[in-house]
A and B are shown apart, each in its own frame.
Chain A
Amino acid sequence: MIRFVFGRLISVILTIWFVATLSFFLIRLAPGNPFANELRGATPEVTEAKKREYHLDLPLREQYWIWLRGVVTGDLGPSMKYRGKTVNEIIRQTFPTSIALGSVAMVFAVVLGMMTGVIAALKKNTPIDYGLMAVAVFGISLPSFILATLGIVVLVFWARLFPLAGWETYSNVLLPGLALSLPFAAKISRLTRVGMIEILGEDFIRTAHAKGLSERQIVIKHALRGAMLPVVSYLGPAFALILTGSLVIEKIFFIPGLGTIFVQAATNRDYNVVLGTVVVFSSLLCFFNFVVDLSYTFLDPRVKPVSGR
């Protein structure tokens, strides 16, 4: 177990390093620079001074070492656009918002997806099943920004159930959370249905019936756990996709999260903010996948992380 955790930790660190390094060089190689607008028409001396301030005058390799040393010590450097703000501060202020939105969406997706999936499986090949799965196909194939726009039109302008946008009250998070979650709820629903139908055909379900258990006890205790396995392994990628999706949703709903900051930073080449976001996102995703793998070994006793215990 310990060896498993340790091995995974090393591969996680390597992955993050690789992604960060790749992003570092890609963004520096992209045309433009952080001060292209700010310093338009400035004298070469001013430009040089500005570049020196952020070490942009040094050779690329040295810039990389300075930046990497910072990252390792937990310092993501200064923002190149927001004067006097460090990347750490920016992330600390905006990331909780994105996490909150992502978590709400995740919870919606899991609850909605598993519930409809189980119902569809139990009502296999009935109109209820067909109806739910038709909605699911629709949900999977529509990008969340279209759902968001539709949601805004219907729920905000027609039904006036939700406030339009912003980030002040709890109800602010519901509509974007729902919009963000629907494609994932649909996918989880289909995974649950397939897993559930497969498990319900297993011999041990027949044994459970032979014991005199009720349908409900059988579904909850004997079937759900096995049916959840494909869902659980999807949660890692799902959370990654949800966070990525929140970039767009945050923009639509004017939510001041890290997604909004990231999009801005990318357009105006705020190198450090972009890279800091990348590092934070990829760490989080690796960590999340790791937790999923770990939970897998708890859900299925046959899966042992390493030989022996």
Chain B
Amino acid sequence: MLLDVKNLKTHFPTQTGLVRAVNGIDLQVREGAAVGIVGESGSGKSVLSMTMMGLVPSPPAIISADQVQFEGKDLLKATASEMRQIRGNRLAMIFQDPMTSLNPFLTIGDQLSEPLLIHKNLTSSQAKKRVIELLASVGIPDPVARYRSYPHEFSGGMRQRAMVAMAVACGPALLIADEPTTALDVTIQAQILELMQSIRQNEGTAVILITHDMGVAAGFCDEIYVMYAGRVVERGPTERLFAEPTHPYTKALLSSVPRLDDPPGGRFRTIPGQPPDLTNLPVGCAFSPRCPYVIDTCRKEVPPLTTVPGESVAREKACFVEIRGKEAGQ
């Protein structure tokens, strides 16, 4: 297993109480896999990825886990300098907003060279040659000239391509992409996803794709984790999970995806009820106040993540109720 996370928690003490942003997550990623993490905004996806990168300052944050094993090393036990050698080298990340994620004061070439200079000990001319190859490989036209451009001279899509090139410069084993296409328009979105897919196939890089868009996750990932209120509520292979969700929240997410047969001009379907208050989670299942299948047990105990019975593939869910084949309220 490339990445094996057990019971990861990231809590933030704040004036209004302890924010349980990540609240006991298990996550496994095999070499070369494409894993999706989906969930509404505020469900803790970014905090989870930043925690794995070692980019959440602690203190103030309180971080704990049984393990965060990556390539045989526990990241939570790594020293700051060990983490620096892993970040950008074996474990890389790209972020949501390509407009603000690149330094406006430095050239693209300068910024893309950095990981190569610090991790691969290349000379600056070797790095330059490699960066130009990288720019070409992510589909940036005229890479020799673009090497000297500044980020503001790039379009949003080109910047995200540059971000991808920068993240994969050192040939990481795992690339975490946190909503990499959310800020881009639809055609560019598809191009960036295609680019990441081809990198995955050619380089064997595993990818964690974080998104709140079920459609994007469906097109990209082999396996999907659904997050709610800092916990995984369901995980399984993409096709089965889409075909027959086993958690009411997954089902609600899927039915909130706009469809072609929706009446034109109609409002987006949304999940009824309030997103949870992370400082004051309900007793029992965090989704229970919004859940149409709720039973008494749900309001007393937190459902553990358990294997879904009667499946030919490995699936897990954190729910006491069997919802397959059932309509809400039955």
Given the interface contacts A204-B100, A301-B150, does A212 sit within 8 Å of B115 by beta carbon?
A: yes
* Docked complex: B71-118 residues within 8 A CB-CB of A: 84-89, 92-93, 95, 97, 100-106, 114-115, 118
A207 and chain B: residue at smallest CB distance: B101
| Tally of contacts, chain A with chain B, CB under 8 A | 71
| Interface pair A212/B100, CB less than 8 Å apart | no
Residue numbers in A under 8 Å from B105 (CB-CB)? 222, 225-226, 299-301
| Interface pair B86/A207, CB less than 8 Å apart | no
- State in angstroms the CA–CA spacing of A37 and B92 once bound together: 81
Per-residue CB proximity of B151-169 to A under 8 Å, as 1/0? 0100000000001001100
Interface size for chain A: under 10, 10 to 19, 20 to 34, or 35 or more residues? 20 to 34
Interface residue count on the B side (C-beta < 8 Å): 28
| Interface pair A302/B152, CB less than 8 Å apart | yes
- State in angstroms the CA–CA spacing of A300 and B103 once bound together: 11
Name the residue among A206, A210, A300 with the largest chain B CB count within 10 angstroms. A210
- State in angstroms the CA–CA spacing of A256 and B106 once bound together: 45
- State in angstroms the CA–CA spacing of A18 and B111 once bound together: 47
Residue numbers in A under 8 Å from B86 (CB-CB)? 212
Name the residue among B88, B103, B106 with the largest chain A CB count within 10 angstroms. B103
| Interface pair B150/A210, CB less than 8 Å apart | no
- State in angstroms the CA–CA spacing of A210 and B115 once bound together: 10
* Docked complex: A130-150 residues within 8 A CB-CB of B: none
B53 CB–A CB distance under 8 Å: yes
- State in angstroms the CA–CA spacing of A211 and B89 once bound together: 7
A213 CB–B CB distance under 8 Å: yes
Given the interface contacts A206-B95, A210-B53, A211-B114, does A302 sit within 8 Å of B103 by beta carbon?
A: no
- State in angstroms the CA–CA spacing of A204 and B108 once bound together: 12
Residue numbers in A under 8 Å from B101 (CB-CB)? 203-204, 206-207
A53 CB–B CB distance under 8 Å: no
- State in angstroms the CA–CA spacing of A207 and B169 once bound together: 14
Residue numbers in B under 8 Å from A299 (CB-CB)? 105
| Interface pair B87/A302, CB less than 8 Å apart | no
Given the interface contacts A202-B100, A203-B97, A222-B103, does A212 sit within 8 Å of B88 by beta carbon?
A: yes
Nearest Cβ on chain B to A298's Cβ, whole angstroms: 10
Residue numbers in B under 8 Å from A252 (CB-CB)? none
B167 and chain A: residue at smallest CB distance: A210
By secondary structure, the A interface counts as helix
B150 and chain A: residue at smallest CB distance: A301
- State in angstroms the CA–CA spacing of A212 and B87 once bound together: 5
Residue numbers in B under 8 Å from A207 (CB-CB)? 95, 101-103, 163, 166
Nearest Cβ on chain B to A208's Cβ, whole angstroms: 7
| Interface pair B84/A212, CB less than 8 Å apart | yes
Given the interface contacts A209-B55, A212-B118, does A203 sit within 8 Å of B88 by beta carbon?
A: no
A214 CB–B CB distance under 8 Å: yes
* Docked complex: B163-219 residues within 8 A CB-CB of A: 163, 166-167
- State in angstroms the CA–CA spacing of A302 and B166 once bound together: 22
Instruction: State which of B87, B97, B104, B152 has its C-beta within 8 Å of the C-beta of A211.
Output: B87
B299 CB–A CB distance under 8 Å: no
Residue numbers in A under 8 Å from B118 (CB-CB)? 211-213, 217
B290 CB–A CB distance under 8 Å: no
B119 CB–A CB distance under 8 Å: yes
Nearest Cβ on chain A to B202's Cβ, whole angstroms: 22
| Interface pair A301/B152, CB less than 8 Å apart | yes
| Interface pair A210/B55, CB less than 8 Å apart | yes
- State in angstroms the CA–CA spacing of A221 and B111 once bound together: 10
Given the interface contacts A301-B152, A302-B152, does A210 sit within 8 Å of B87 by beta carbon?
A: yes
| Interface pair A204/B102, CB less than 8 Å apart | yes
- State in angstroms the CA–CA spacing of A211 and B93 once bound together: 8
- State in angstroms the CA–CA spacing of A203 and B163 once bound together: 13
Nearest Cβ on chain A to B294's Cβ, whole angstroms: 39
- State in angstroms the CA–CA spacing of A202 and B89 once bound together: 22
* Docked complex: B248-271 residues within 8 A CB-CB of A: none
| Interface pair A203/B150, CB less than 8 Å apart | no
Residue numbers in B under 8 Å from A206 (CB-CB)? 55, 95, 101
- State in angstroms the CA–CA spacing of A207 and B101 once bound together: 6
A300 and chain B: residue at smallest CB distance: B105
Nearest Cβ on chain A to B116's Cβ, whole angstroms: 10
| Interface pair B115/A211, CB less than 8 Å apart | yes
Name the residue among A208, A212, A300, A301 with the largest chain B CB count within 10 angstroms. A212
Nearest Cβ on chain B to A149's Cβ, whole angstroms: 42
Nearest Cβ on chain A to B162's Cβ, whole angstroms: 11
Nearest Cβ on chain B to A285's Cβ, whole angstroms: 28
Name the residue among B55, B86, B88 with the largest chain A CB count within 10 angstroms. B88
Nearest Cβ on chain A to B227's Cβ, whole angstroms: 21
Residue numbers in B under 8 Å from A209 (CB-CB)? 53, 55, 87
Residue numbers in A under 8 Å from B88 (CB-CB)? 210-213
Per-residue CB proximity of B126-169 to A under 8 Å, as 1/0? 00000000000000000000000010100000000001001100
26 A-B residue contacts at CB 8 Å? Answer: A203-B97, A204-B101, A204-B104, A206-B95, A207-B102, A207-B163, A209-B53, A209-B55, A210-B53, A210-B55, A210-B167, A211-B87, A211-B115, A211-B118, A212-B87, A212-B118, A213-B118, A221-B106, A222-B103, A222-B106, A225-B106, A300-B105, A301-B104, A301-B150, A301-B152, A302-B150
With A203-B97, A204-B100, A221-B106 given, can you name 12 additional A-B contacts, CB distance below 8 Å? A204-B101, A206-B101, A210-B55, A210-B87, A210-B88, A210-B92, A211-B166, A212-B89, A222-B103, A225-B106, A226-B104, A302-B150
Which residues of B are interface residues toward A (Cβ below 8 A)?
A: 53, 55, 84-89, 92-93, 95, 97, 100-106, 114-115, 118-119, 150, 152, 163, 166-167
Nearest 9 pairs between A and B by C-beta?
A: A212-B88, A211-B88, A203-B100, A212-B87, A204-B103, A301-B150, A212-B84, A225-B105, A210-B93
